[in-house]
Structure 1
Amino acid sequence: MTIETVHVDLGDRAYDVRIGRGLLYRAGTEIAALFGRRRVAILTDENVAALHLASLQQSLAATGIEASALVLPAGEATKCWAELGHAVEWLISQRIERKDLVVALGGGVIGDLAGFAAAILRRGVRFVQIPTSLLAQVDSSVGGKTGINSPQGKNLIGSFHQPGLVLADIDVLGTLEPRDFRAGYGEVAKYGLLGDENFFDWLEKAGPQLASDPMALQRAVRHSVEMKAGIVQRDETEQGERALLNLGHTFGHVLESVTGYSDRLLHGEGVAIGCTLAFDLSARMGLCSQEAPSRVAAHFAAMGLPSRISDIAGEIPDNETLIAMMGQDKKVQDGKLRFILARGIGDAFVTDAVDRDRLHEVLAASRL
């Protein structure tokens, strides 16, 4: 298998996403070729460090790059003010300058936090994403969204700060726990649901084999990145079309928040439930066929993903509380909730014309 490149064309902020096998062991060569032999500060978490940090450090050392590393706690709770402050102060102590590099080695949590730390350190330091989860490879490592969570909602604090390079090594996905791989798949399926029915058709056939078929997996990652890159190029700071990438997220983020950003509900699981709810709401509002939400739910079930609120262990607050919390969503404009709904699989759109009665129906039905 060859290493493939998806170019994200953003003018002077353009960069490449490199996708293929063995990229972690080539990281030193890839970074040195693009940036020279600058000092590198690696931010990672405990789980990823145990698996991949030594390989990255060896790769950097082999090309003469000096690197230090900070290992943070694993989990969504790390995306907070305390750990952001910890990371920034450590970067300052390492004397990382604007022309040096911050490397994010990890999943979406580390990528978001490291990118935000790089954005605010010295008013902007360059950084490289080396995503180690499927979710991060297909979504959070591309597009420049960085940030942390607030107790009032997910990703409410952050900035746009594009990476200088993304290295998506397909091989490292083989070290993921099955649940983490499935959760990442929720973001892969999202791309087919929001804008490419043919891709979703292919996923219905190929999805169950992705974890054991590197060629199919690389195709899924590449196509997801291509779709996201195209949208980001047209709408870098989410003034319009880029909001489509949040299909399922208005519901999913609230469910993550009420479950305490814990292992009760992983991000990709929340997206899967959220996508199903979005299609159910669309069908109840007469926007798409009644068959579409059933097809979405059936595919997530086939992939071992949840599709209903009742699939979440433990109590979930009442529907009025969930809807009130949606009012803190980043897509809210002029106090109006905005949802990504669909006219069919592969045909999503943004709207604030949501029928509240139907919204209550959808949430109630998902609890049964």
Structure 2
Amino acid sequence: MSRSTSDVQAFEARATDADLDDLRTRLAAARLPEAETVHREGPDRWDQGVPLADLVEVVDYWRTGYDWRSFETRLDRIGQFRTVIDGLGIHFLHRRSARVDATPLILTHGWPGSVAEFVDVVDELADPKDADAPAFHVVVPSLPGFGYSDKPTRTGWGTEKIAAAWVELMGRLGYGEFLAHGGDWGGNITTVLGGRFPEHVLGIHTTFAESPPGMTTDGLTAAERAWTEETHDFWHHRAAYAKQQATRPQTIGYSLVDSPVGLLAWILDKFAEWSDTEDSPFETISRDRILDDVTLYWLTRSGASSARIYYESHNSLDPELTVDVPSAITIYPRDIEKYPRAWAQERYRQIVRWRAPETGGHFPSLEVPEYFVNDLREGLAAVMAARR
């Protein structure tokens, strides 16, 4: 499926000084609510959302200390491109390995993530310091409606169409066969890639392994039962954001596009709740990297358009879809959805590697980047070995 790359254009991210000045002005003029009424110390202080003191500190740093230009430079150094697929402009990072034995690999982010999730791991995946480690030609696309990808103007850009677009994208880069990794929505899309396009997808690695519906807890270990209970609790008590974005993305979008503080709080809340930390996401993830992510949403005005992926795809994974290509699955302990292996293998029919590390949450490439890279390499090596 090798095609010409003539439809692929180099791209540079450049925010105007006026946009950056406007951001700082809005931050300085922000109207904030009173402090939360729960305890302001201890494990319960996030129970009502982002604590006022934490938000004020991050807003001040965003306005006076954060440097967006350094992130633009990082993106340019990796290599940025755009191409039009089915009438929609798709932005992506592309880092070709210098190794002749490198394998093409597409990494797909989710919400509230972005390509910022992977900027710290691309170089090591493409050109590892260890000559014995596998190397990859790394492609990191921005989902439709996210970052520098175009915003769909009509419905239809759900995970099935996105997966088909990724096959087209990789073909345009000359990668008729490739590996795929993802978490969150990226894990969903990676699952669709493996299930729908086995002639192109060599195998997958994912931190999201949703089982088909109707599975029984009979025969599960106590730890596996705890996973199912935690997942059930998440969807029934802590997923109001998903219901809002799945049913009224336009309504919440006005706030997310108009108020940088509102956008920051909406996203920071998820980094805090979904990361493997005790008190603050900044225990494991730098303020700069989270602000890279939030600022990307702000400058591209993608609060509403990114939320629409929930409208398009919430609960849409085909219950009959199976993945027969080799699959490596890693379930991090503080992730929001965790399914037992016995359930997962009803969908992923050839699990060649299963890991459940002791640390890490929903954003492993940011929380535990060294472990993430090694785990991804080992998982994909197992996938490739299974094909021989």
Q: Same fold (TM over 0.5)?
A: no
- Structure with the larger helix share: 1
- Structure with the larger strand share: 1
Q: TM-score scaled to structure 1, two decimals?
A: 0.29
